[in-house]
Amino acid sequence: MIKGRMRIEMGTAFADGLFAMAVEPEVDFDKRQSGANDTQKRDKDTGERMWVVRCVDGDEDAQKRGQAELKVTIVAPVQPVLPDALPGTPFRPVEFENLTVFPYVDGARCKGSGHPQCRGRVAYSFRATGMRSPARGAHSATTKAA
């Protein structure tokens, strides 16, 4: 497994733009399985709630490979608000503040212990401190209660 995280600029990670679809609480499956009332995942360092923003990458090649959908995790005390949609469309262009990427090896496609049977790949997990519309100011300050 590749360890460590790296700060990355939006234009480098998503040169063709990124579009937000939804924000939802990140579920802590251990809490859910134990029957806890509050099953939202918390950041290990700050204890703040974790939110998942489901997005679509504007890169046509990623779409052709079936890798256009991704999630970005935001750690915040209250649910972040999605940017406004482009007039007349359902598309919500988004930029993330302090975007960080975590590369890791996704071995879910590996069967057996031999290399010929393994179709593992490098995958990426993204985290940010907030989000905003590319044409406007920060949305991280405009939030709604969880």
Q: What is the pLDDT of residue 115?
A: 57
Q: What is the pLDDT of residue 108?
A: 72
**Inside any domain, residue 146:** no
**Inside any domain, residue 69:** yes
Q: Are 72 and 92 in contact (CB under 8 A)?
A: no
**Inside any domain, residue 54:** yes
Q: What is the pLDDT of residue 138?
A: 45
Q: What is the pLDDT of residue 140?
A: 44
Q: What is the pLDDT of residue 146?
A: 40
**Inside any domain, residue 23:** yes
Q: Are 23 and 73 in contact (CB under 8 A)?
A: no
Query: For residue 11, what are the domain limits?
Result: 6-136
Q: Which string of b and e fits 4-26 if b means at least 16 CB within 10 Å? A: eeeebebeebbeebbbbeebeeb
Per-residue pLDDT of the chain (146 residues; tens, 9 = 90+): 345 789 999 999 999 999 999 999 999 999 989 998 999 999 999 999 999 999 999 999 988 888 899 999 999 999 999 999 999 998 999 999 999 999 888 777 676 665 556 667 788 899 999 999 996 544 443 344 44
Phi, psi of 18 (to 5 degrees): -140, 140
Q: Which amino acid is at 96?
A: F
Going by their DSSP bridges, the two strands 6-7 and 100-106 should be labelled as: antiparallel
Q: What is the pLDDT of residue 119?
A: 67
Task: Count structural domains, the chain.
Answer: 1
**Inside any domain, residue 22:** yes
Angle 79-31-107 (CA atoms, 0-180°, nearest 5)?
90
Q: What is the pLDDT of residue 136?
A: 53
**Inside any domain, residue 32:** yes
Q: What is the pLDDT of residue 139?
A: 45
**Inside any domain, residue 1:** no
**Could you tell me the pTM of the whole model?**
0.80
Q: What is the pLDDT of residue 137?
A: 46
**Inside any domain, residue 145:** no
- How does DSSP classify residue 117? G
Closest C-alpha among 44, 84, 76 to residue 141? 76
